[in-house]
Each structure stands twice: as C-alpha cells, then as structure tokens.
Amino acid sequence: MMGSSGRAVPALARGVACCLSVLFERDVEIVERLNDAQRRLYDANERLWSGLSPDAFGVIYGGSAPAGVSRIAALMADACGAAGPDINAAAVSVLQETHCAIRSGFHAYQAACEERRQLAFEVGELSRQLTDALCAAGWSADEARSADVHELARAGGR
C-alpha cells in the first residue's frame, strides 16, 4: 500500500501505526482524566482553604473582613455565634467529605499517571518497531521518525 506521500507502506508498518494511533487516542482520554482529577483536587482544596483561613471569617481584622464562602466557613461562623454539638458535628462532616474528595482525586490522579507512564513505554516500543519497519522498506530514519502515524494507519484502508 502507498501512503499519501507516495511511499510504500509495508503491512507491518501499517499494523504498528494502527496500534500507535489507538494508543494516542487512549492518551487523550488519560489526559482528560488527569485534568478532571486535578480539578477535583483543586476544588476540594479551595473548600478547605476558604473554610479554614482566618481571614475567611475576619478573625485577623477584628471581624471587618468578609466572611468565607465555603460550607466550612459558614459552619464555623455559626459556631462562633451559637456553639453547640450540632454545629461541630456538621463541621466535622464537611471536613470528612472534603477529605474523601481529596483522597479520591489524588488516587484518580495517581492511577492515571501510572497508566500514562505504562502507555509511554508501549508507545516508545512501537515507535521503534515502526521506524525499523519503514527503514527496512527504504525510508530514511528521519522520514520514518517524522511520518504521520494516523496517515500510515489509514494507508491500509485505500
């Protein structure tokens, strides 16, 4: 088969290019998961910070600073006005929810990082195989390394 460059694309190279194309699509999915986990970590951390920062309820500035906007800040402000076990239990509950959100986000991020690390190894191995197959078909090493994997994968469908 011929690629769009007019060069012969051996069957082995097409097969490896197809595998690489699939791995590149998987990488996009992993990056989306990484971004989602990072966003969840950031959001959970913001809930903690805006709820636990002294400025959130104006302690440093003698009550003249604006109150925090988080659920924790609201509970702490309520606790300052009317102490009671219900307020403390509610604050602990919100802290536990935030702790779970951070832990979950961290584990999701860590798992996606490990999956991406393994994917990078596979991509490296397949890239070497693709370069070898194209060089065996008469391509230069530079041409083989700069070839469009998706185009090579499509060369078999023509």
Is residue 50 very low, low, confident or very high in pLDDT (cuts 50, 70, 90)? low
Task: Give yes or no for a contact between 3 and 155, defined as CB atoms under 8 angstroms apart.
Answer: yes
Average pLDDT rounded to a whole number, residues 36-62: 69
Within 10 angstroms of residue 118's Cβ, the number of other Cβ atoms is: 11
For residue 56, is pLDDT > 80? no
Is residue 4 very low, low, confident or very high in pLDDT (cuts 50, 70, 90)? very low
Q: What pLDDT, on the 0 to 100 scale, is given for residue 7?
A: 77
Cβ neighbors of 81 (< 8 A, separation 6 or more) are none
- Which tens digit of pLDDT belongs to each residue from 69-122? 566 666 666 655 555 556 667 777 778 888 899 999 999 999 999 999 999 999
pTM of the full predicted structure?
A: 0.71
Domain map (residue ranges) of the chain: 11-157
Please state the separation of Cα 87 from the chain's center in Å: 36
* String of DSSP letters for 19-38: HHHHHHHHHHHHHHHHHHHH
